[in-house]
């Protein structure tokens, strides 16, 4: 059961949750959660799909936001606004959650500002159909517009950022991983490792279905550009091994050193290989995707 003072807890979460809009004049694309009083706001990367970002607070105040970092792999984005102090939320350790723990979600689904739903934790860990990444998985009602909003415990402390729906479950990025992402994002001079934005695709290769990472964008001056990779190239493996999960690439990048990428260019092409020398991921930071 939700603890006494539920109304006050819900109101505090609403005040720490913002509506995120992309490009002036559009309806709300999603939600965001105030990370601290100094002006930083966490949302989903898939919510931030444009250059002109604005956020609306619980009191109707609207301000432009600057994108500090976007990590498409973990589906997180960090924004910064010039308004302070902000009504920041409190955060709790997602690793302490247990099945059956009560949770509540606050966001802006389908245009309903500050909507709240309640549920219980199902588990914390990888979803069997979505790679190796950990999720706070909860039996809770989410809808378009909840993305980037808060998943909180019964004390009102945020334990995840709501991201997607998988069958009957709502999935949220665990607060422990949100904290790591924000820490990396605020490090000075943390350029991307490869400087690419990617999307996961499946395709037929050598008479079987294979997993590939298609390059959507390449940052100017990045290692990917220096290695002559191009938008549209499909990375299919690393160090001689085909991908079994999108995480395979990022796991390998985290080790640094000389990495060999196998990729396809153009229709019916044969695999090519390029070698790129990387520093450790802790030293280089994360890009939008890799």
Judged against a pLDDT cut of 60, whether residue 150 lies above it is answered with yes
Q: Which of 177, 211, 242 is the last residue of a domain?
A: 177
Which pTM does this prediction carry?
0.69
Are 66 and 79 in contact by the 8 Å Cβ rule? The answer is: yes
Domain that holds residue 63: 6-80
Q: Which of 80, 113, 143 is the last residue of a domain?
A: 80
How many domains would you assign to the chain?
3
Identify which has the larger pLDDT, 253 or 225. 225
What letters, b where the CB count within 10 A reaches 16 and e where it falls short, cover 50-80? eeebbbbbbeeeeeebebebbbbbbbbbbbb
- Tell me the average pLDDT across 40-67: 90
Task: Tell me, yes or no, whether 88 lies in a domain.
Answer: no
Q: What is the CATH number of the domain that holds 24?
A: 2.40.10.10
Q: Is 65 a residue whose pLDDT tops 90?
A: yes
Question: For residue 52, what pLDDT is reported?
Answer: 87
Model confidence band, residue 149 (pLDDT cutoffs 50, 70, 90): very high
Query: What is the pLDDT, as a whole number, of residue 179?
Result: 92
Query: Which of 124, 122, 113 shows the shortest CA–CA distance to 167?
Result: 122
């Amino acid at each position: 059961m939700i603890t006494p003072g539920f109304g006050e807890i819900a109101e505090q979460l609403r005040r720490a949750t913002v509506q995120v809009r992309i490009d002036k004049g559009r309806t709300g694309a999603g939600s965001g959660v105030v990370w601290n009083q100094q002006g930083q706001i966490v949302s989903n990367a898939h919510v931030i799909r444009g250059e002109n970002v604005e956020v609306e607070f619980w009191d109707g105040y609207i301000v432009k936001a600057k994108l500090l970092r976007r990590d498409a792999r973990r589906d997180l984005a960090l924004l910064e606004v010039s308004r302070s102090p902000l009504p920041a939320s409190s955060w709790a350790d997602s690793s302490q959650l247990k099945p059956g723990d009560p949770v509540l979600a606050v966001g802006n689904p389908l245009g309903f500002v500050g909507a709240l739903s309640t549920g219980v934790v199902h588990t914390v860990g990888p979803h069997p159909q979505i790679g190796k990444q950990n999720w706070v998985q909860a039996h809770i009602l989410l809808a378009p517009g909840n993305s980037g909003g808060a998943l909180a415990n019964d004390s009102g402390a945020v334990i995840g950022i709501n991201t997607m729906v998988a069958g009957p479950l709502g999935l949220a990025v665990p607060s422990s991983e949100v904290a790591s992402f924000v820490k990396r994002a605020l490090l000075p001079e943390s350029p991307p490792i490869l400087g690419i934005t990617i999307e996961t695709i499946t395709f037929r290769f050598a008479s079987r279905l294979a997993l590939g990472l298609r390059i959507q964008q390449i940052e100017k001056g990045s290692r990917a550009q220096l290695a002559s990779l191009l938008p549209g190239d499909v990375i299919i493996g690393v160090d001689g091994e085909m991908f079994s999960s999108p995480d395979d690439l990022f796991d390998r990048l985290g080790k640094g050193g000389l990495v060999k990428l196998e990729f396809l260019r153009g229709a019916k092409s044969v695999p090519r290989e390029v070698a790129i020398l990387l520093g450790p991921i802790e030293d280089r930071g994360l890009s939008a995707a890799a």
